[in-house]
């Protein structure tokens, strides 16, 4: 009998926790909204970096973006591609380590 009672209480607590963390607990952002916000923050950081590159040239490589944001190669590529599609940067070079991105004035 005790085991059934403990199990029932556990199910109720677990269901409540799931409900709360999936957005039922007030004015919480959804996971998708958080991801979209984080993506925009990272893209803004990339644009800041391109604007402040210390070499004198306003350009940045995929490798630099990876290291600065601590993200994967695929994520850096995706962010740079999105910025390119938005008309904020342009890719110089076709492939390999000589590719870099520069801000469009």
For residue 86, CA distances in Å to 15, 70, 79, 92, 98 come to 42, 23, 11, 16, 22
Q: Residue 78 has what pLDDT?
A: 94
Residue 87 has pLDDT above 90, yes or no: yes
Alpha helices in 1-105 (DSSP H): 2-19, 31-51, 62-69, 73-85
User: In this model, does residue 2 exceed pLDDT 80?
Assistant: no
Q: Is residue 93 in some structural domain?
A: yes
For residue 62, the domain's CATH number is 1.10.10.10
Mean pLDDT of 21-48: 81
What local confidence, expressed as pLDDT, does residue 7 receive?
A: 80
Q: Specify if 15 maps to a domain.
A: no
Residue 20 lies in a domain: no
* pLDDT over 70 percentage in the chain: 88
Q: DSSP class of residue 92?
A: E
DSSP state of 90: E
Give the number of domains in the chain.
Answer: 1
- Facing residues of 103 across strands? 89
Domain boundaries, position 58: 30-103
Q: What is the pTM of this model?
A: 0.66
Strand 89-92: give its sheet, edge to edge.
59-60, 100-103, 89-92
Whole-number Å distance between alpha carbons of 74 and 57: 24
Q: For residue 34, is it within any domain?
A: yes
Report the mean per-residue pLDDT for the chain: 84
């Amino acid at each position: 009998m005790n085991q059934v009672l403990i199990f029932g209480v556990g199910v109720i607590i677990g269901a409540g926790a799931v409900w709360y963390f999936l957005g039922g607990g007030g004015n919480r952002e959804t996971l998708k909204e958080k991801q979209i916000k984080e993506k925009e923050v990272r893209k803004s950081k990339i644009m800041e970096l391109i604007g402040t590159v210390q070499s004198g040239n306003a350009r940045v490589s995929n490798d630099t973006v990876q290291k600065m944001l601590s993200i994967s190669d695929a994520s850096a590529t995706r962010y740079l591609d999105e910025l390119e599609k938005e008309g904020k940067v342009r890719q110089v070079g076709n492939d390999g380590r000589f590719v870099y991105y520069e801000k469009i004035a």
